[in-house]
Structure formats: structure tokens, C-alpha cells
Structure 1
Amino acid sequence: MALTDATAGIGTDTPHGDLLDRVGDWGPVSTPAGCFRLVPVRLGRDLALLSRWMNDRAVSAYWELSGPPSVTADHLRAQLSGDGRSVPCLGTLDGVPMSYWEVYRADLDPLARHCPVRPHDTGIHLLIGSAADRGRRLGGVLLRAVADLILDRRPACMRVIAEPDLRNIPSIAAFLTAGFRFSTEVDLPDKRAALMVRDRSLRHLM
């Protein structure tokens, strides 16, 4: 399945608020791995693919969304029916969906109850969908690309943050490769996490 239209993914089940400056309009970005684009999820189109990814053992160990498609659907609907503070997206590489992303307002998220966040801090979650795409150092390449997209398209955002599980060493390594720094450890309700930060002021140095 290829998604090549710049507006693909914008539909009735996609939030229309501007809390994240219209992620669906951010457009493509060139990376060493190919042309990358964030495409907001459409439940009817994307559920089967995302549910299959969530049932991959390597993914379910950290996302905990394995099971029937309804489990993934409930997770997506919670975002799609909200006010736009979290936008679930497919990540496409040269038009082919290969990753899942959540771009969210960290300052409006429950995360803010557990660690210090700043106004307009923007958070990201990522999973690489296909096992064939893992171990190719794509994570660091794409994380850098998405962090740059956020900083370019969201002028009010001074920091891009993430909170991968401390046990997920490959994920933490990918964030470090992408120019994030380790800030602190954070106790969250479902995990102990590493708070990773990419600062606007340091983006050209790291």
C-alpha cells in the first residue's frame, strides 16, 4: 500500500484542531533513507496494518496493544476523537507505510504530571512496523527527521521530547543518534522511562 498524496490521511476521523499546527500539512522531508512523510491515521484505511504491527512480539513488549483489532482501534479512537493534542500518524518512506508515530503536546499530556515540561514541548512515540526495517539504523535517521520537522513547523516549540522505556536500549540509542540528550529517569504509571530531549538551541550541534 502506497500513500503518495500530500493530503492522504485527512478525513472525518482525523482531528482538525491546530494544537499541533496541522501535522497533516507538514509535507515530505528528504532523508538518507528516502522521502519521508507523516500521514495522519485514518481508522478505516489503516487499522488492519497497525493491528498487525501491534501484534508483533518485539512491538507488543513495549506498546502492550496486542490482541484483536479492537484493542488498537480503541487506542486510536482516543486520539482521533480528541481535541488534536495527540495525532497518530503513519510514517511513509518513498510512499510506503513503514512506521507508526504519535506526535503529541507534552505540556497538555498526563506526562506533565510526572516530569517538568515547558509550554509547547512536543512529544513523539515511534515504532518501526516491519521486522525487515529494524536493525537498519532507520530509527535514528527518522527520529532526527521528525524532530527537525517539528522544530521547523512549530516555531513555539523549544524542545522535542520522548520517554522510551529504560529497558528498550535500541530505542534509547536511536534517540541519542538522532541528536537527543538523556535528561533524567522518570517513573510513569506503566514504566520507568528515559526522558530524552532535543533542544532547539542545540539542534545544529547534535
Structure 2
Amino acid sequence: MARTEKNEKKVPLSKVLYEQKYKIAVSGAAETSHCLPGAKERAEEIGRLIARRGMILITGATTGLPYWAAKGAKEEGGVVIGFSPAASRIAHINVYHLPVDYHDVIVYTGFDYSGRNLILIRAADGIVTVCGRMGTLNEFTIAFEDKKPQAVFTPSGGTTDMIQEIIKVAKRGHGQVVFESDPNRLLDRLVEVIKKEQGGKGSSG
């Protein structure tokens, strides 16, 4: 049996929070024809900025805007983790027809899209939403119910531009959601909310 040192010092919570790297999910449309011009470029820029700040990008391991965010992050030398709806790499490629590039690790959840969305959001410290359709809205509502810090890039098109009205009509309060049109400022504000929620400092660049 291993001996426990009586005088062993515990690591302060503030130090743990400081040393961790925030995991930022980028949620957005997998098919982007309905998005506003420039949405692809903004997603890629957000991915680059996440990497530059030393944070980890997580995605739904899909096409479209999350894919371009992953590309931007990897081009900056960042770490990207994907959560797939498929149960295996083979199903990910041959059944769901999803990409595997620009990701360091892909977790094959086997829970289809709705289950994947839940795992993705639960794994994130904060979520950035750019453009979107029904799946993006599903991820937003999961995060809203979980009181997760969220930053919505507006205007970018699709369901994303309806979120403010949805929050208003739902009469559930504003949650931890910020709206911003500048990518740098968007991440600044998101990190502020994350730090406040977690009670300390983390890796934000």
C-alpha cells in the first residue's frame, strides 16, 4: 500500500484553473449556401484566433463552418478535437461522409447527430456559433439549458440571426450569451464569461 504524506500540499483551485486550456467549440452550418458572404472566412479566422490564444478547438468533426475553423486552427499550430456522430472511422467516412483532416483526435461517439451534439457541448468550456441551421440551433439550446458560456457571431446568417429573438420570446433570461461582430472581441467576451463562471483564470492567450 502506498504511503500518503501527511504534509502533502494540495494544489490550489486557482492554479488548476490557470493551468488548464479552455476548450472552445465552434458550432455552425455544415452546408453554407444560406450563410452570409464571408462566413467561411470568419469561421477560419476564429479558428486561428483560438489557436493563437493557446486554447483547444473542438468541433462536431463535420463539414462547413466547423471544418473551416479547424483548418484555421491547424494552420496556426493549434490543437483540434472532433466529436463524430459515427461509431467508427469507417462509418464516419463511408456512412456519414465526413472529413478527418485538420483534427488531431476524433472521438467516434456512435450516438448519431443529436447524441454527438450533446457530448460536444458538454465537453466545451464555451461555444462560438457562426451561421447555422437546425443542428446549430440544437447545440445552442443544449448549451443554453446547461448555462454554458456562448458567443454568437452576428450577423452571419441562418438560425444564428434568430437567436436573440428566440431568447426574447422564450422569456428564460439572457443566459450566458454574448453577441459580437468582431472575431477578436467575440473571443475576449467569451473568455470573460468563462472565467467568471469557473472562478479563476485559464489559458486565453
Q: Which of 1 and 2 has higher RCO (CA within 8 Å, sep 6+)?
A: 2
TM-score, normalized by the shorter chain, greater than 0.5: no
Scaled by the length of structure 2, what TM-score is found?
Answer: 0.31
Question: When the two structures are superposed, what TM-score results if normalisation uses the length of structure 1?
Answer: 0.31
Higher strand fraction (1 or 2):
1
